[in-house]
A and B are shown apart, each in its own frame.
Chain A
């Protein structure tokens, strides 16, 4: 890209020099400046229309659903009665509400804790180049790139109670088979394990690129001052990496709160809602039953968006502070 940029202007400038008269050039520039705003907005317009039609409008429909009493017929005919906050109140008093909220938070916090710690450890490990380090680092991206249905179904089979490789390996240590996906105490653990595996690459890549931006001479200076490896990590790496750490964690929260595919494919939020989160509960209400409950489903989805937006605004505030700093 850099070489391209260097080459093209030269040839263009040569072409520009061939234009003889100066005044028309100036006039054209002035006219361009006048219409620049209009042109800029012409370029931006499709994306703005897109945002309105494909983001704002679906979100509005979602909000509308959550404020009305939609039956299946009303859904098709579009004449549902306005019921205000009734769906929200029903959802909050639903016996699934507290477990779903609790699972959402546990799923997010535990996933992030492991993804971040392992990803950070690997980023530090890969920070110093060694033979094959580039190739191995690239291979670490695989779990993040695979379609979630692929990862989720592979983990489902690996965690199968009777024929899964995980229980077989545990058997070597004399541990009895665990009902990973079917026991109420293990279902949430199982989906968290799979989600940690998928999220490690994201943390690794972000933190690794952060580490690369720390100037090497700071480490050398610290070394000359007699700082050992541990000290260098806590006194140099961590403080200098703080912005990247913050962004990695916040993005992690935002993208983990919404996780749906893995949980739905592996456990459908079961058994008995023991691994359900706001995402899967909302889906269950809207699409998972014979009689869909679009109103409550949309209400749960909107609660999820409130949760997400809290982290989103912290993230944006942090970013803004970094940009101005």
Chain B
């Protein structure tokens, strides 16, 4: 009976998942369908006339965009970790007076709509003459992850046993030494979580890229796709091939770090 019931649940579960992931399948399907086969009222459900021409075009045209996104993503991760890890340690473990207020402000900062930040940064970057600068884009992108990162670090680091830190101090290590050689190594999991989400958000960013870097020499992959869509020829095979490539980091994240993903979604929302 139980055997039978769980089997029936698995079938239902597979059905729901297939339904949910249909758009993803469709993206892959279209990416392999030649452009001249796309202009049909009843599209092919499988890439029977399969082609990789979309991917070839993408690799020729979008290579620099992909590299830019990788670069921006990695730089954003570095900035975020440098700012957030010490702050998370301070809020989670050292708890200075006034720390509660900082934590509160970080929660609010996380909720500020992107459009407000985009307009504000546009004004600032114009005055400083750093529009269309990749490093300026990195700084803007880091605002997507820094508040989240501090809160995650604070949550994880508050669980580090006090004796561990005391032992290190008794050994003669200063606070910074303790942070560097005790706190950071035991917080490896939270560092991975933060780095993964930071990279993903920076990689996926569209609004900052489109307002602050649209005229730059180095455009990220999101703008590569956006310009493809804006293009009148509407090369959907290539657009979807680019979309598939742009989805690779998310896919890797899910395969390699599934438990970190679930932790990242719930942390900051439920756990304190």
CB closest chain-B residue, reference A37: B96
Of A4, A47, A258, most B-chain CB atoms within 10 Å = A47
Q: Which of A48, A260, A304, A312 contacts B207 (CB under 8 A)?
A: A260
CB closest chain-B residue, reference A194: B23
Query: For window 167-220 of chain B, which residues contact chain A by CB distance below 8 Å?
Result: 167-172, 175, 179, 182, 185-186, 188-189, 200, 203-204, 206-207, 210-211
A contact residues vs B (CB 8 Å cutoff):
1, 4-5, 8-9, 12-13, 15-16, 19, 25, 28-29, 32, 36-37, 39-41, 43-44, 46-48, 50-51, 54-55, 57-62, 64-65, 75-76, 78, 122, 125-126, 128, 130-133, 136, 138-151, 153-158, 162-165, 167-168, 171, 177, 197, 200-202, 205-206, 209-210, 244, 247-248, 251, 254-255, 257-258, 260-261, 265, 279, 282-283, 286-287, 294, 297-298, 301-302, 304-305, 308-309, 312, 316, 323
Decide yes or no whether B90 CB sits under 8 A from chain A: yes
User: 25 A-B residue contacts at CB 8 Å?
Assistant: A8-B182, A9-B164, A15-B167, A44-B86, A44-B102, A47-B102, A50-B83, A51-B106, A55-B117, A59-B116, A131-B7, A133-B13, A142-B20, A143-B21, A147-B250, A150-B247, A154-B243, A157-B239, A165-B43, A205-B262, A210-B270, A255-B111, A265-B206, A301-B119, A316-B108
Cross-chain contact A51 with B102 (CB below 8 angstroms): yes
Q: Cβ of B200: which chain A residues have Cβ within 8 Å of it?
A: 145
Question: Whole-angstrom distance from the CB of B182 to the nearest CB of chain A?
Answer: 7
Cross-chain contact A16 with B123 (CB below 8 angstroms): no
Cross-chain contact A58 with B206 (CB below 8 angstroms): no
Distance A280 CA – B95 CA, assembled complex (angstroms): 40
Question: Whole-angstrom distance from the CB of B42 to the nearest CB of chain A?
Answer: 5
Decide yes or no whether B59 CB sits under 8 A from chain A: no
B contact residues vs A (CB 8 Å cutoff):
6-7, 9-10, 12-14, 16-17, 20-21, 23-24, 26-27, 30, 38-43, 45, 82-84, 86-87, 89-91, 94-97, 99, 102, 104-109, 111-124, 126-127, 139, 142-143, 146, 150, 156, 160-161, 163-164, 167-172, 175, 179, 182, 185-186, 188-189, 200, 203-204, 206-207, 210-211, 222, 225-226, 229, 236, 239-240, 243, 246-247, 250-251, 253-254, 258, 261-262, 265-266, 269-270, 272
